Amino acid sequence: MAHFLLPFALSLLSTLSLTSPVTAIYWKSVRPNPFKLRTEKLTHFQFYWHDVQSGSNPTSITIVRRPPVNTSTHTGFGLVNMIDDPLTERPDINSKLIGRAQGMYGLASQEEVGLLMAMNFVFMTGRYNGSTLTVLGRNPVTQKVREMPVIGGSGLFRFARGYVHASTHNVNTTTGDAIVKYGVYVLHY
Ligand SMILES: *[C@@H]1O[C@H](CO)[C@@H](O)[C@H](O)[C@H]1NC(C)=O
Ligand SMILES: *[C@@H]1O[C@H](CO)[C@@H](O)[C@H](O)[C@H]1NC(C)=O
Ligand SMILES: *[C@@H]1O[C@H](CO)[C@@H](O)[C@H](O)[C@H]1NC(C)=O
């Protein structure tokens, strides 16, 4: 064999052994595709997220208090809240319920009030009732518009990906209750 062909022959050999049935026992290509996946569509949602910390039925509760270290930081670094926040059609919390945001956020920045958010939007009305979208991202709440990734979903949102834009509509500085407008763009089948 010509000397320059040897690397090619070796790589061919390793390719062959990788694709041989003997090694491919823990995965397989799924054909034909059972999901009938064709073209992805882009869907936009807009709703209002209500973080209710006050009253007798708060939907956002602190599950990890801010640790008593470096009290000179004013960013709440270390605090964690669990949420089951209503998502409504309009800023009024009594307007039509679209779904809920279930998950948690933690104060993850020492320099500003910056949240790490991990939440599922659980849709509860209309076509998307029962389907979920998962948002995981960074939310520096003092910025006008914060962008976070939609990293997946379930039901009609299988294989979903996209992003949200969150902008604060209103914060009650006495109670900590916040209303945030969410605009969501999601690609899904
Ligand atoms: C406390 O945190 C602030 C902000 O990160 C930092 O500038 C400061 O040096 C810290 N103080 C101490 C005592 O570590
Ligand atoms: C959403 O789905 C649940 C469970 O299937 C059902 O009980 C409920 O009535 C549905 N809600 C709407 C508004 O369609
Ligand atoms: C904040 O909430 C308190 C208690 O519900 C209420 O009395 C007050 O008017 C609210 N402040 C604003 C600015 O909405």
| Ligand 2 lined by 129 (C-beta under 6 Å) | yes
- CB of 135 closer than 8 Å to CB of 119: yes
Q: Find the 19 Cα to ligand 3 centroid distance in Å.
A: 65
The CA distance from 52 to 47, in Å, is 16
- Encode pLDDT of 130-179 as tens digits: 999 999 999 999 999 999 999 999 999 999 999 999 999 999 999 999 99
pTM of the model: 0.83
The atom of ligand 1 lying closest to the CA of 72 is 1
Ligand whose nearest atom lies closest to the CA of 178: 3
Q: Which domains does the chain have, with CATH numbers?
A: 37-188 (2.40.480.10)
- Encode pLDDT of 55-104 as tens digits: 999 999 999 998 888 877 789 999 999 999 999 999 999 999 999 999 99
What tokens does 150 get?
A: 């939609």
Q: Find the 172 Cα to ligand 3 centroid distance in Å.
A: 6
For 18-43, what is the mean pLDDT? 75
The CA distance from 65 to 78, in Å, is 7
